[in-house]
Amino acid sequence: MSLYHEAAEFLVSSSSGGGSLKSRVFKKKNLKSPPNQLYALVLESCKWSPVIKEVIEKSDLLKLERKLTPPLSLLLVHDLLLAKKGIALPQSHGLRASVERHRGRLTSELTRARLRRKAASIAELKEQIDKESAGEEANYPRWVRVNAVKSSLEAQLETTFSTFTRASSVQDVINKPGKHLFIDPHVPNLLAITSGTDLTKTEAYTSGKIILQDKASCFPAYLLDPRSEDGDLIDACAAPGNKTTHLAAILKEHQPEFETSPQTIYAFEKDSRRAQTLEKMVTTAGSKPTTRIGFGQDFLQVDPHAERYKSVGALLLDPSCSGSGIVGRDSMPELHLPELSSTTEKETAGKMSKRKRKHVEVEAEPLNVMVDDDGNETVMKSDQDLEARLEALSAFQLTLLTHAFRFPSATKITYSTCSVHMQENERVVMRALQSDIAKERNWRIMLRKDQVTGMKEWPVRGLTSACGDDGDIADACIRSYKDDGQGVMGFFVAGFMRIGARDAGSGDDDEGPYLRDDDGAIMRDVLGMPVLKSTGIPVSLNARDEVGSEGEKQENHDEEDEEDEEDEEDDNSSSDNSAAEIATDARYQQEVGVLSIIEDEWQGCGD
Ligand SMILES: C[S@@+](CC[C@H](N)C(=O)[O-])C[C@H]1O[C@@H](n2cnc3c(N)ncnc32)[C@H](O)[C@@H]1O
């Protein structure tokens, strides 16, 4: 089957709803054409369909070429008139010939269609088309996090964004013509820039100085606020690594002047293929020295009491979820198919049913398909189906969260989803707080007053009704909705704290290397230096470069890494490698920008 026949199937089935085009193309088994090429062809043809429909109808192409169906004609004319390399079929191929022999007529009709739209050139027409077809993504800026491990906001404003005009609000960035930027008032080192700006080819992007990450997706690491006294960190569900690299950047910014024990971020990822992307991202972002990746490692199989994790003071938990908050998940421009005159329509329909049915068969689409953020599709035939799916996700999320509660030295946790369903959010929080392990270890919600400034000030909070009418817990929960005017994706995050807790049974060494007072706060001397448990004296005031060269330290850490990687390989020998195709994970693709072929279209949330 040719590229065009396969594309025609997707084109027609895309208009009948259910699942995103991206997940349908990349999940389809036994495709003959390269998925990237297929996806780009269907998406582009759909975007251009209002114009091409006019061109085909006015040139009478379907009357003159009775073998062509409307979807096939749309795809072929798109490639003839707009693709750089023209129609991707051999010159002698019948389909190609049936369109190419009308090149003159079709080209003149395209010029007329362009002039009717008052576009001076095809490039100008393309701009119009891109804007009209941007769907809900047109209402969002492109969020860019400056990676403090490799650069600074100031440096990026002077280089990558030097030609951007400062806007006074996110709404101005969205609405004003031209290239604008706005420095986010809540999350440090975050910028909103005009959407549609392709940064993927800039030096800053390719070298990891900037990371495309939705604002809401920056909340969990920022809320966790890891500091040197928190010891080691865990990112329990880490790929593709936006939050892991954000944690590393925050650690770098919080690094004290004086010498402290090096901190490690343990980043676990159950899916081995995604773990490889995680590694790439961590490497590009310059966070490799501080990060140890658990390739294919299920967080639930990690023993909280293992020696290696005894200094883990803070955990970030961002598990798989329904992905209902993702922007542009199902966005597919409206399809405009050329129409046949009524007599031709009947004839062609008859022919199609006999001859072409095997090519242009439209797959029966389920009523509604939920594509979660791991790319798994679940058919939803009723509200009960949706409720059952959410309940299953909620139970899995709760298990992960209560597992995180078990780490003996942990005093801070953030839990997040990109879902807007309370079942995956407030309900998980409430159940976690009521769990035996939470009570046993004195975990409580991180109240709004205890949160970092930007999160305290963020206006959109949890649902009181879903928190048993407890206003304080609802206020502690942080939410965002796609349509709340803040220009961010739908998201949820809550923090948990364990202050003043004593961990029965795990000895004195369960809360990191420093002495703590009765409230759990780290004890410091007059200069603010934390006092070490081991010596009873404050840590040394030696500047970092007086203690030994960074090179030496790095080398030691690397050796340790190698040993640990070997251990981890052993740990993971039984890991599950049968994960869904990376390319089918919508959120995942948005996060990493995997589809370089359609980078121009890439408007993902970057989460
Ligand atoms: C929502 S994504 C994480 C996104 C990531 N935090 C980021 O910001 O880039 C969830 C990830 O958790 C992984 N995952 C799911 N269950 C897991 C488990 N039990 N242990 C480790 N990873 C898990 C999934 O494979 C998926 O890659």
pLDDT one-digit tens code per residue, 505-527: 343 444 566 777 765 667 777 66
Residue 215 contacts residue 184 (beta carbons within 8 Å) = yes
Question: Each residue of 329-347: pLDDT tens digit?
Answer: 656 778 899 987 644 444 4
Residue 269 beta carbon below 6 angstroms from any ligand 1 atom: yes
Which ligand 1 atom is nearest residue 400's CA? 19
In this prediction, residue 533 has a pLDDT band, given cuts at 50, 70 and 90, of: confident
Residue 597 contacts residue 36 (beta carbons within 8 Å) = yes
- Give 12's contacts (C-beta < 8 A, 6+ positions apart): 71, 360, 362
Burial of 499 by CB count in 10 Å (0-12 exposed, 13-18 middle, 19+ buried)?
Answer: middle
Name residue 180's beta-bridge partners: 165
Residue 320 beta carbon below 6 angstroms from any ligand 1 atom: yes
Burial of 276 by CB count in 10 Å (0-12 exposed, 13-18 middle, 19+ buried)?
Answer: middle
Tell me whether residue 242 is annotated as binding: yes
What pLDDT does residue 265 have?
98
What pLDDT does residue 578 have?
29
Global model pTM greater than 0.80? no
Domains annotated for the chain, with CATH where assigned, are: 3-133 (no CATH), 135-212 (3.30.70.1170), 219-319+388-574 (3.40.50.150)
Question: Each residue of 563-577: pLDDT tens digit?
Answer: 444 444 434 433 333
Residue 424 beta carbon below 6 angstroms from any ligand 1 atom: no
Question: Each residue of 117-172: pLDDT tens digit?
Answer: 999 999 889 878 887 777 777 789 999 999 999 999 999 999 999 999 999 999 99
Residue 316 beta carbon below 6 angstroms from any ligand 1 atom: no
Which ligand 1 atom is nearest residue 274's CA? 27
Q: For residue 120, what are its two tokens?
A: 């001076």
Percent of the chain at pLDDT exceeding 70? 75
Estimate to the nearest angstrom the gap between the alpha carbon of 4 and the chain centroid: 31
What pLDDT does residue 353 have?
43
What pLDDT does residue 528 have?
67
Question: Each residue of 31-84: pLDDT tens digit?
Answer: 889 988 999 999 899 999 999 999 999 999 999 999 899 999 999 999 999 999
* Phi and psi, residue 531, nearest 5°: -95, 130
Residue 337 contacts residue 54 (beta carbons within 8 Å) = no
* Phi and psi, residue 472, nearest 5°: -70, -40
Residue 22 contacts residue 369 (beta carbons within 8 Å) = no
Q: State yes or no: is 418 an active-site residue.
A: yes
- Give me ligand 1 centre to Cα 204, in Å: 26
In this prediction, residue 25 has a pLDDT band, given cuts at 50, 70 and 90, of: confident
What pLDDT does residue 286 have?
98
